[in-house]
Amino acid sequence: MEDTFRTIVKASKAIYTEKRSKFIAYAIPVLSADEVKAEIEKLRKEYYDARHVCWAYMLGADRKDFRANDDGEPSGTAGKPILGQINSNELTNILIAVVRYFGGIKLGTSGLIVAYREAAAEAIREAEIVKKTVDCQISFGFEYPFMNDVMKIVKDLEPTILNQSYEMDCLMTLEIRKAKFEELRNRLEKVESLKFIE
């Protein structure tokens, strides 16, 4: 089961010019469609005099949530090539927006596709790409005498302990890679007195 994905650490910027048209490309890490909307709004305000702000985004570890927008450019000449670059770099949780200033010379359909593709590729080249794991959290309570049983499982599977409290009843929240989650849950289920907190 695939439990890793590639994304970028922080926003990056690149500038591409073609026949006096200027393409300013941004690669921005995002986690939701609302964040995408906010970032596009910011760019529209900053570049209020630009002819187009075209974009594409991809969200989620499964890379199933995506959209592309040509913002008035001929259909398929901007959003699609930008999305193509996100795909060929296997990235997610990313927005790439390309601001275009028209330079007076028409680029034609194929020229536009190349320009938007190159601008997006440049922004990705400028970005630092990281591989992240898909993590799952689990919370549970147990009686103090069974602490050793729980800690042995923690030692074996090495989840991250997000929080813990030890009183009469102990509470713990762990985070672990998706691929190891089932094993962790199955082993915890065998600990006497342990109850999962949904």
Do residue 29 and residue 96 come from a single domain?
Answer: yes
Do residue 162 and residue 100 come from a single domain?
Answer: no
* Residue-level pLDDT at 4: 87
First to last CA, the chain: 24
Do residue 30 and residue 123 come from a single domain?
Answer: yes
Tell me the pLDDT tens digit for each residue of 157-172.
999 999 999 877 899 9
Asked if 57 contacts 30 with a C-beta cutoff of 8 angstroms, the reply is yes
Query: Distance between CA 18 and CA 150 in Å, rounded?
Result: 62
Query: Distance between CA 129 and CA 12 in Å, rounded?
Result: 11
* Residue-level pLDDT at 2: 64
**CB hemisphere CA count around 143 (13 angstroms):** 4
Which among 145, 154, 152 has a CA at the least distance from the CA of 174? Answer: 154
Asked if 126 contacts 14 with a C-beta cutoff of 8 angstroms, the reply is yes
Do residue 31 and residue 49 come from a single domain?
Answer: yes
Do residue 150 and residue 95 come from a single domain?
Answer: no
**Boundary (domain end) residue, out of 132, 165, 181:** 132
Do residue 21 and residue 108 come from a single domain?
Answer: yes
Which among 24, 83, 79, 26 has a CA at the least distance from the CA of 59? Answer: 83
Q: What are phi and psi of 113, to 5 degrees?
A: -55, -50
Do residue 125 and residue 155 come from a single domain?
Answer: no
**Phi-psi bin for 188: left (phi > 0), alpha (psi -120 to 50), beta?**
alpha
Structural domain including 20 reads 4-132
Do residue 93 and residue 162 come from a single domain?
Answer: no
Task: Output the tens digit of pLDDT for each of the chain's 198 residues.
Answer: 468 899 999 999 999 999 999 999 999 999 999 999 999 999 999 999 998 999 999 999 888 999 999 999 999 999 999 999 999 999 999 999 999 999 888 999 999 999 999 999 999 999 999 999 889 999 999 998 899 999 999 999 999 999 999 877 899 999 999 989 999 999 999 998 899 997
Report, in angstroms and rounded to the nearest whole number, the Rg of the chain calculated over CA atoms: 23
**Boundary (domain end) residue, out of 132, 156, 176:** 132
Do residue 120 and residue 140 come from a single domain?
Answer: no
> Buried b vs exposed e over 31-60: b needs ≥16 C-beta within 10 Å?
eeeebbeebbeebeeebeebebbbbbbbbe
Do residue 38 and residue 71 come from a single domain?
Answer: yes
Query: Any idea what DSSP says for residue 144?
Result: G
* Residue-level pLDDT at 28: 97
Tally of CB atoms within 10 A around 126:
15
Query: Distance between CA 62 and CA 30 in Å, rounded?
Result: 15
* Residue-level pLDDT at 61: 85
* Residue-level pLDDT at 181: 93
Which CATH number belongs to the domain containing residue 167 in this structure? 3.30.70.240
